[in-house]
Structure 1
């Protein structure tokens, strides 16, 4: 792996970027702070000016990932408007797009074992991302009779879980896993089946 080094005095971000590269290559537990420091072009002691340890470094990578994720989800939600269905489907697809474009962040967020409550800043970033999908679910669920309407938090959690499952099993080259269909098609059809079950889109003819 080439040495990255840092510029303009932004050592903190250089360390995060080094950690992301190592996470992609070795996983969240497969590298040391010394390796991150070496890749950033500094001594191991310099890391401790910004982070208390490897867990804090990964938590920062996770926080930045959630911030990117929330922005992407918000953009997808806005792009799907004014249709509630369009906004909801767009946010589901955004999950898959994020995992593909930002694998290091994705791993730090969902596979590192770092709690979203590691810091108030991380918790807030994670909550903002979840809120976008929950808002899209709430908008769409208004078309369901009140006595049959699931809570928006449950609605969004189902789609989050479905999206996460498709990513983990079929979009990230999991060893031994071979998708019978493209990941995008699997997610789209899964969301379609779920929404038909709620009566939000008509059945196929």
Structure 2
């Protein structure tokens, strides 16, 4: 299947790697991560595959470059939402506005750019790396900063701060998937709006509300542990 990505001629000499990275991101934008190939990116830039292979050893390296571009574009959408967020008010109100802005930027990007959104989460650990790229990605860093802001403002208790970013990420990402590829995609705009509002309200209350104690917490932990739910063994790294 041919790509509709336009040929990029006249890139600066010595900047072919960046030109190929941008072309890979454009391919992902239109067709998702499966559309990213060295040959297609070379064709879009207007060079031979041989020239492209001088900068990217293969498909996986080029896909990683596309993923970096996608993450940067998601962060830019988050930043745009943050810039629109009123900065006046007490620290808690500002922090909750920033939390909503970061989450809305994530959702907006997922709905507007489904191909790039899928590309953000492909691939595993790069060879020689000890930290998955998502943990240091710009969108994740923004989520951490907002939670630190709420903790500093006294809204998020210190004992509830650890792993809070994973809890809000799971909620917003799950909603993004429902809106993007799940049954919420076909819901009317009013139902979608209500779902977004309720999700963000539950997140905000969950962050600042009273923690579970006593039998309530014990019951919850016992059920989780009894379920045996755990991540599957990924097996040997594919490299």
- Tell me the TM-score normalised to structure 2 length: 0.65
* Of 174-183 and 16-25, the range deviating more from structure 2: 174-183
Question: How many pairs are equivalent?
Answer: 193
1:197–1:32 Cα change, 3 Å: closer
Query: Which segments of 5 or more consecutive residues in structure 1 lack a partner in the other structure?
Result: 201-205
Q: CA deviation at 1:54?
A: 1.2
Q: CA deviation at 1:119?
A: 6.7
- The structure 1 segments of at least 4 consecutive aligned residues displaced by more than 6 Å after TM superposition are 116-120
2: CA distance, partners of 1:138 / 1:15: 37
Other structure's SS at 2:69 match: helix
- Asked whether the equivalents of residues 79 and 87 of structure 1 are also in contact (C-alpha less than 8 Å), the reply is no
Residue correspondence of structure 1 range 56-95 to structure 2 within 5 A: 56-77=61-82, 79-80=84-85, 81-82=87-88, 83-95=94-106
- Asked whether the equivalents of residues 134 and 140 of structure 2 are also in contact (C-alpha less than 8 Å), the reply is no
Query: Which segments of 5 or more consecutive residues in structure 2 lack a partner in the other structure?
Result: 89-93, 210-239
Whether 1:20 aligns to 2:29 is no
Larger relative contact order (Cα-Cα within 8 Å, sequence gap ≥ 6): 1
1: CA distance, partners of 2:24 / 2:74: 18
Q: Alpha-carbon deviations, 1:114-141, whole Å to 9, x = none?
A: 4478879x93883443222122123224
Residue correspondence of structure 1 range 169-184 to structure 2 within 5 A: 169-170=178-179, 172=180, 174=181, 178-182=185-189, 183-184=192-193
Q: CA deviation at 1:75?
A: 4.8
